[in-house]
Amino acid sequence: MNNLFTELENQNKQIPLAELLRPKTLEEFLGQSNVISQNSPILNLLRTNRLFSMIFWGTPGCGKTTLARLIATKTNANFIEISAVTSGVKDIKDAVENAKASLRTGSKTILFIDEIHRYSKTQQDALLPHLENGTLFLIGSTTENPSFQVVPALLSRVQVVRLNSIDDDSMNKIIKKGFAYLAKNYLPMDCESGAIDFIINLARGDARYALNVVENAYFASDLKDNRRNLTVKIIEEICQKRNTRYSQQEHYDCASAFQKSLRGSDPDAAIYYLAKMIAAGEDPRFIARRLITCAAEDVGNADPNALNVAINAYKAVELLGLPEGRIPLAQAVIYVARAKKSNETVMAIDMALADIEAGNDFPPPMHLRDAHYKDAKNYGFGVGYIYSHNAPKEYQQFLPDELVGKKYTK
């Protein structure tokens, strides 16, 4: 018996703390009150033992896999878990056969696909008939925006559930639970004031990452009088540098916030988003292209030099690369953000394009047409044209007859 307990204890020592402390009930599940609050749609359905197919979209470590497992437990469903990284159509077919066998015994099946955005269109399409006929229910998890990564046919058959990053209060409870588990099962510990807040700041809403830090820092901490002494310094040494979280969605979000900060004349916000994109490994030429767009679209002729500054920043980045390229980029960002703004240029060209696309595609007046070739004047081309430099005050019609008086510019 002792050998059995020893074996189980040794097995637990090999299991990561984040896995050991994974919530076993919905009541233990923290940080997603918007999804599993008292009157939330998901909880109401679970109370009636009903299921529907879902895709959980959220940042790493926010509880997507855990929630899928808890839903399966709550509904007594057969739970099949695969990863899109290591599986394919054959695995989907195997899951379908398993689900059909469960149906014959009256059991529902949930197929959980982690990182479903990694599946190709063909692999995603393989799920469609089985969702359609009710053979199984799908719960997919993704860190990427499903609108970009999941095929429309599959999206139309599921509900997308947005999971938030774990809030600081919930993260505090999770970290304390981790330390309590380690102190109970290994050695008691003392924790320096500020250590938990430091981990919360490092984790940025990722509970799995936070518990990995807790575990590693605990076993790396100093041992004195049979007690662990955990300090902020130990955590800093263990973690070194936290990678910037930057999914494809965040790529778009950050670029959008960057351009809107430039447009809104907030140089501090624009510099912050510039730094965020650089730290995440964004191609600096992509950033410079956004800057050029803003200089033309949002500054325009209110300060024509802004476009020169932005283009020169692009050239400087190509010459220097990073890290030196960050400096001319920052210089240009501050200039464009502080420049006077006018959207006259983009409004004018878009209004004119809209007219043409709407069918208002008219030829130029006869006197403006090309008359450089022989016999052109015989057709009336160029007849009556006034050379503007010779008669700057002389009125001359330039727009087509049908658009006389039309204003595209302010």
Greatest alpha-carbon pair distance for the chain in Å reads 112
According to the model, what pLDDT value does residue 42 have? Answer: 84
Residue 8 lies in a domain: no
According to the model, what pLDDT value does residue 9 have? Answer: 54
CA torsion sign for 80, 85, 86, 90 is positive
Pair (142, 63) in one structural domain: yes
According to the model, what pLDDT value does residue 311 have? Answer: 97
Pair (382, 325) in one structural domain: no
- For residue 245 the two structure tokens come to 């979280």
Residue 138 lies in a domain: yes
Residue 11 lies in a domain: no
pLDDT mean values, one per 10 residues, the chain (410 residues): 51 82 93 85 83 93 95 94 95 96 94 96 96 96 91 95 94 96 93 92 92 94 90 88 69 93 97 94 93 97 97 94 94 98 96 94 90 81 88 89 92
Pair (142, 46) in one structural domain: yes
Full strand arrangement of the beta sheet holding 137-142: 78-83, 109-114, 137-142, 54-57, 159-162
According to the model, what pLDDT value does residue 316 have? Answer: 95
Full strand arrangement of the beta sheet holding 189-191: 189-191, 227-230, 222-224
Tell me the pTM: 0.69
Pair (152, 180) in one structural domain: no
Q: What CATH code is carried by the domain that includes residue 134?
A: 3.40.50.300
According to the model, what pLDDT value does residue 5 have? Answer: 47
Boundary (domain end) residue, out of 162, 187, 208: 162
Pair (127, 203) in one structural domain: no
Q: Which of 159, 146, 139 is nearest to 66 (CA)?
A: 139
According to the model, what pLDDT value does residue 8 have? Answer: 47
In one letter, which amino acid is 270? A
- For residue 121 the two structure tokens come to 């269109």
124: exposed, middle or buried (C-beta count within 10 Å: 0-12, 13-18, 19+)? buried
Pair (235, 285) in one structural domain: no
Give the pLDDT confidence of 323-339 residue by residue, as tens digits.
Answer: 999 999 999 999 999 99
Pair (45, 153) in one structural domain: yes
Boundary (domain end) residue, out of 142, 162, 182: 162
Phi, psi of 57 (to 5 degrees): -115, 120
Virtual torsion, Cα 275, 277, 281, 283, nearest 10 deg = -110
Pair (286, 332) in one structural domain: yes
Please, how many CA atoms are within 13 Å of residue 82, restricted to the half-sphere of its CB? 20
Task: Count the domains in the chain.
Answer: 4
| Beta strand residue intervals within 101-259, DSSP E | 109-114, 137-142, 159-162, 189-191, 222-224, 227-230
**Which neighbouring-strand residues pair with 111?**
80, 138
Q: What CATH code is carried by the domain that includes residue 332?
A: 1.20.272.10
Pair (306, 366) in one structural domain: no
Contacts of 318 by beta carbon, 8 Å cutoff, 6+ apart: 285
Residue 387 lies in a domain: yes
Pair (48, 107) in one structural domain: yes
Pair (329, 355) in one structural domain: no
Residue 194 lies in a domain: yes
Residue 368 lies in a domain: yes
Residue 19 lies in a domain: no
Provide the pairing of β-strand 227-230 with 222-224: antiparallel
Give the pLDDT confidence of 6-23 residue by residue, as tens digits.
Answer: 544 555 568 999 999 999
Question: How far is Cα 174 from Cα 61, in angstroms, rounded to an integer?
Answer: 12
Question: How far is Cα 26 from Cα 23, in angstroms, rounded to an integer?
Answer: 7
Classify each residue of 388-398 as buried b or exposed e, where b means 16 or more C-beta atoms within 10 Å of its C-beta.
Answer: eeeeeeeeeee
Q: What is the DSSP letter of 136?
A: -
Contact 64, 56 (CB under 8 A): yes
Q: Which domain holds residue 308?
A: 248-338
Pair (156, 68) in one structural domain: yes
